[in-house]
């Protein structure tokens, strides 16, 4: 899955639920903040599907269980 697609999926879901979405560029990663939940995503153009789904699961507390399906 492309990195841009991962970020767009989270951005769209957060805005649909009225939550704050922010991207913060760190040294080697991009920090993603949705509501009160923070996580980092590496700066690779292609993200492995398993890694992308694990990243999506980190935001389940804010966006709901299985929100990315």
pLDDT at 39: 96
Q: Where are the domains of the chain?
A: 3-63
Could you read off the pLDDT of 5-41 as tens digits, one per residue? Answer: 999 999 999 999 999 999 999 999 999 999 999 999 9
- Which distant-in-sequence residues (6+ apart) come within 8 Å of 24 by Cβ? 30, 31, 32, 33
State the pLDDT at residue 3. Answer: 95
pTM: 0.90
39-63 pLDDT per residue, tens:
999 999 999 999 999 999 999 999 9
Distance between CA 22 and CA 46 in Å, rounded? 21
Residue 5: the pLDDT is: 96
């Amino acid at each position: 899955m492309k990195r841009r697609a991962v970020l767009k999926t989270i951005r769209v879901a957060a805005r649909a639920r009225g939550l704050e979405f922010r991207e913060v560029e760190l040294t080697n990663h991009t920090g993603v903040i949705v509501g009160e939940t923070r996580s980092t995503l590496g700066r690779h153009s292609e993200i492995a599907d398993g890694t992308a789904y694990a990243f999506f699961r980190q935001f389940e507390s804010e966006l709901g269980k299985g929100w990315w399906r």
